[in-house]
Each structure stands twice: as structure tokens, then as C-alpha cells.
Structure 1
Amino acid sequence: MSAVEVIRADVLAGVPHGFLGRRGGASGGVFAGLNVGAGSSDDQAAVAENRMAALAAVRPGATLLTPYQIHSPDCVTVRVPFANGVRPHADALVTDNPALALGIVTADCAPVLLADVEAGVVGAAHAGWKGALGGVTDATVDAMEALGAVRDRIAAAIGPCIARASYEVDAAFRLRFEEADPANERFFADGRAEHAQFDLEGYVAHRLAKAGVRRIEAMGLDTYANEDRFFSYRRATHRGEPDYGRQIAIIGLPG
């Protein structure tokens, strides 16, 4: 296994964290690299090895927890490992336990890592369009606040996700956002007839700012366009590939 690539955000300096792509890892074929998708048809021993390598690169010695992601706005507070290894159906986790590391798995959706260093509280959120519109980042900030974080002290980083240039949507998709808030029109650029290009990263940053987060870093890394660095569900779909890999974003507290 070659060394994994860990992408770190300046805004989270001093906090153990990382956005990992596909570089390194034990998987092959369409999953070549650091595929951490337990729900993929990849060899599960390779997936487990990849997850261990990712954790070791970010927060060695911690217990990695990832939710069973369902594109919801739901956030779960965790202070101990999941009972019997049963993962909650949710799309964000928060903790104040330095023995735990939180992980979010993505393949075009936006991974969001958050921290209030002074309070000793971290969070991780999976923000696809549905969860983002539903308020998954709002729920994460609320849950962090319940653990003692102060929202205007929280720093947040938005990791590799599909960029507007790569994210074509139809008119019905655009209408959902504009009906929720007419100002959301700014996150769409006109495309071919009855279609538009959606800025998921920009929308997620907007929701974080609206929730009171003042320090936000958008990494500006397009999963679809950077095949050598990232897995992409949409790219795999466009190519008619049978399956696709997933990457992971991890955050924890200093231990």
C-alpha cells in the first residue's frame, strides 16, 4: 500500500483532521486506491485496511465512528463507541470525547468538518444536496452548541465535492431551492435548456454562515474532474461503471 494523501484545512490548524481522497490504499479495479465504502462491492478486507490507514494518517489510536448515511438532516451526539457496532442512521456526528474520531464518507457530496477548539467539541457532516437543503449543517452546529461549543467560535472546512462546473441539474431541482428561499437563485448558473449548474460548495458555505459560523474554508476541490485524486459517483454513472469508490473525511480531538 502506498502512502495515503491527507488534505488539511488551514482553518482547522491544530485539530487532528483530514480529507482523504483515493491516493494510496489497497483496493483495485474501479475502486483503485483508498476506497473506504463498506457499502461498495469492493473486497471488504481491503476496505477495512483502507479505513485503518486513513485513521492512522489522521488520528492514530482513536476509535473511528461513521454513521449509516441516508441523506438526512439528522445529527447524532456520540460520547462512546456505538453499542454492538450498530451505526445510527444519520448524516452527521458530534463529540467531545478525545478517544473518538468522526468520519464521513462521500463520493461527490460535501464533507464538512467542524471544531470549537476552546470547548473541545468537533463535528463531521455529510452534506449532499438533500441534506444540505434540509439543514444537516444547522443540526450539527446546534448539537455542537449543546456540548458547550460557541457557534461564532466554530471553524468549519468544506472538503472535496462536486463543483458547479461539473454539477448539472434540471429545472425541478433548481425550483426546490428557489422555493425554499428565492435568494438561492445565486447558487445556480444557467446551462443548456431546462438545466443549470449547481454550486453545492457555495450553498453549504452559505448555510454555515447563516447558522452563525464565522470561519469557513471551502477547499475548492472538484471530485468529478480530478479522477486521479477522488472518487465520484456521478463520473462513474456517466461512464456506466458497475460501482464506485468512496473517500473519507475524519476529525478528532487531540489525544
Structure 2
Amino acid sequence: METVAPVEVLNAPALAGTAHGFLGRRGGVSDGLHAGLNVGLGSDDGRDAVLQNRRRAADAVLAGAPLVTVHQIHSPDVVTVSEPWGDDARPRADALVTRQRSVLLGILTADCAPVLLADREAGVIGAAHAGWRGALGGVTDATVTAMVALGASVANIAAVVGPCIAQASYEVDAAFEANFVAADTYNAQFFKLGRAGHAWFDLEGYVATRLTAAGVGKVERLGEDTYSQADRFFSFRRATHAGEPDYGRQIALIGLE
């Protein structure tokens, strides 16, 4: 029997003392296009493999804890978790918050930015999926607001932006840039001039800056590019450029012990 590699878990100093991890593709049982730790129920991967991977991922961060995720729709919508729900009962949203212990909040990504948040003093955590649309729509602001409603203090929240597509890998067209600048001229700083009619977008920087602007006390960036590290991370854009028919998803997890 082939031995499965250990799950790779990236931790962030800002979240020290809180069970958390940003996971990539290493340490899973899937093969082919989805080789590794693919946790995407919406992918074309076999369901049994995906469920095994989801359990392996959860156990690598908080062994035995139920994993709670959402059906992500690139929105600013946040749900509050009072008790776990099953994989087939996932609400449509892009962020979760809770003060419940022994529950793992999970966010899936494949280039979008995963954001994990915690106010350790208040015992409140959050997880957000920040693609460009959700980020611009305010998903991180909404997550912070939902955490405050559970008793968190904005100044005490630590937030980490995990592996996502880096600016050097994220070329966008002029209409994309105009959408951000129309929302706020300050956003022009997140675009670097590229070939005619195009620019390079700093998603990680934009998300981190939104968190800081919301008053979050500590904001950290992992600085890991999903697109350029095919051996470590899944990437929607890389799969698209390669003409592949599907792609895997990785997960970011946070829980209160």
C-alpha cells in the first residue's frame, strides 16, 4: 500500500495559541488532476477521496473536531455557527464566525484569499473567503462586524491572509481595474501597470489593507503564491491556463479548543 504523505499545515504567528492552519495540496489521497489534499465537494474528484481529505485536513489542525464549511458564492455574506451542520446542509455564504468550542471553521480556496481571524481574549473566531468580488463587496468587514456581535473587540482581533494568487501571477484587464477604482480611487495602488489594457492586481495587499482599515488590531500576510507553486497549492487560474477541465481546492481552518 502506498504511504500518504503528511498533511502540510502552515501556521501564522499572529494566531499563535489558537488552533489553525492554512493547508495546501500535500498530504491527501486524491490523484490525477486533483492529486493531493483536494477538499472540494464541488470538484469532479471522487466523493470518497474528498471526504477522506476533509477528515485528514481537520485532524491535522484539531483532531476529532467537526468541520463546518459553507457553499461559497463570492458574496459578503457571513453565517454564525451555533452548532455543526453536515456537508450537504451547507448554507450559501462566504464567511463563518463562532464562539463555540471544538468546532473547526473551514474556507476553501484555489487562488482566492483565505482569511482566518481570532480574538483570543473574547473567544471568538472567524474565517472568510475573499475572492476579488467578495473582497470588494466587503466580506472581511462583514466578518469583523459579525465577530463583534459575538463579543469580540475589533482592536483585539488578529487576522491572517493565507496563500492566494500573488500580484506577479494575477493579470487583469482594464475593466477589472476600473471597477475597483470606481469604488475608491485609493484602490489604484493595488494595480501595477502591465501590457496594453492590462494590469497586475495585488489581491493579498487589498484584503490586508481592508482589514487594517476596519480597525483590526493585527494583520499578517503569509505571502504564498498559489499560482506559481504547483507542487504545494491548487490554482484555478493555473488549471485554466493549462486547459485542464477541473481543479482541486485547498482549505484554511480555525477552531477553539
The within-5 A match list for 1:102-117 is 102-117=105-120
Q: Which runs of 5+ in 1 are unaligned?
A: none
- Percent identical pairs in the alignment equals 66
- Give, as a single letter, the amino acid of the residue that structure 1 aligns with 2:213: K
> In structure 1, what is the equivalent of residue 176 of structure 2?
173
Residues of 1 paired with 2:7 and 2:248: CA distance? 15
Counterparts in 2 of 1:229-244, with a 5 A limit? 229-244=232-247
Cα distance change, pair 49–75 in 1 and its aligned pair in 2 (3 A): same
2:161 matched residue in structure 1: 158
1:220, CA displacement in angstroms?
0.3
Given candidates 13, 16, 23, the residue that maps to 2:16 is: 13
Aligned to 1:140: 143
Runs of 4+ in structure 1 deviating by more than 3 angstroms, as ranges, are none
- Three-state SS of the structure 2 residue aligned to 1:113 is strand
The answer on whether the counterparts of 2:68 and 2:86 sit within 8 Å (CA) in structure 1 is no
Q: 2:82 aligns with which of 79, 84, 106?
A: 79
Cα distance in structure 2, aligned partners of 1:229 and 1:99: 28
Partner in structure 2 of residue 58 of structure 1: 61
- Decide whether the 8 Å contact of 2:107 with 2:128 is kept in 1: yes
Secondary structure of 1:189's aligned partner: strand
> When the two structures are superposed, what TM-score results if normalisation uses the length of structure 1?
0.98
- Structure 2 spans left out of the alignment, 5+ residues: none
The TM-score, its normalising length taken from structure 2, stands at 0.97
SS of 1:17's partner is: strand
Q: 1:69 aligns with which of 66, 69, 72?
A: 72
Q: Given the alignment of the two structures, is residue 27 of structure 1 paired with residue 30 of structure 2, yes or no? A: yes
Cα deviation, residue 127, structure 1:
0.1
Count of residue pairs the alignment pairs up:
254
> Partner residue of 1:131?
134
- The amino acid across from 1:28 in the alignment is D
What does residue range 194-213 of structure 1 map to in structure 2 within 5 Å?
A: 194-213=197-216
Distance, in Å, in 2 between the alignment partners of 1:49 and 1:140 is 29
Judge which range, 73-82 or 137-146, deviates more: 73-82
RMSD across aligned positions (CA): 0.9
User: Is the CA contact 2:108–2:251 (under 8 Å) kept in the aligned structure 1?
Assistant: yes
Find the residue that maps to 1:2 and give its secondary structure.
coil
